[in-house]
Amino acid sequence: MKTLCSIVLLCAAAVVAPAQSTVTYTITGTLGPVLGGTDCLGLDNMMLSLTASISSKSVPIKTTTVSATYKLPAGSVSVTIGGTNFKNTKPWTVTYILNSTSDNLTFAGAGMSGTTYIINANLKVKSFPPTVLGTTGHPSVFKPSPQTLTSPASFLSYTTTLCTAASRTMSSSKLGLGGSANSQPAAPTR
């Protein structure tokens, strides 16, 4: 009877789905100086905070020899700029770019009122393992963590119609970003 109970328990354990980890990235800092455009939204010297989570089991939607882009589902990105907070209501992307001089972690997507954002964290070379690349790649934490971000390599750029609503033309701006980036795995979930 003991043997039968042991077999049943082992079989039941094998059926349980494997734990899935979430990687969480946090970028915080001050925007500025203006690197391009007119900064019609007046974001220069504003505080920025981005928190994004992605499953470590995600696979890239686009790859090159030095980059991999992953989809971030709606609700997985929270951004605060100055006193304005929003959560992504449509998918964003995160791109890992591994160069010979630095690694970059780039988030892109739509914010409020039709404004689109690109937030780039320029990190130390070899911060990410090469396993983030390729068609079988997976997201990963970066090391060391945290890391210091400096302008102009780290930046926020945005495109909006808010400043030229009457003519419906797009206005683009790019601001430096000074602050820090952190990554951490969350507790596994089932």
Of residues 57, 185, 54, 160, the one with CA closest to residue 107: 54
Q: What angle do CA 92, 60, 19 make, to 5 degrees?
A: 95
**CB of 48 within 8 A of CB of 125?**
no
The predicted-structure confidence for 149-176, as pLDDT tens digits, reads as follows 999 999 999 999 888 755 567 889 999 9
pLDDT band at 112 (very low <50, low <70, confident <90, very high): confident
The predicted-structure confidence for 61-75, as pLDDT tens digits, reads as follows 999 999 999 999 999
**CB of 91 within 8 A of CB of 110?**
no
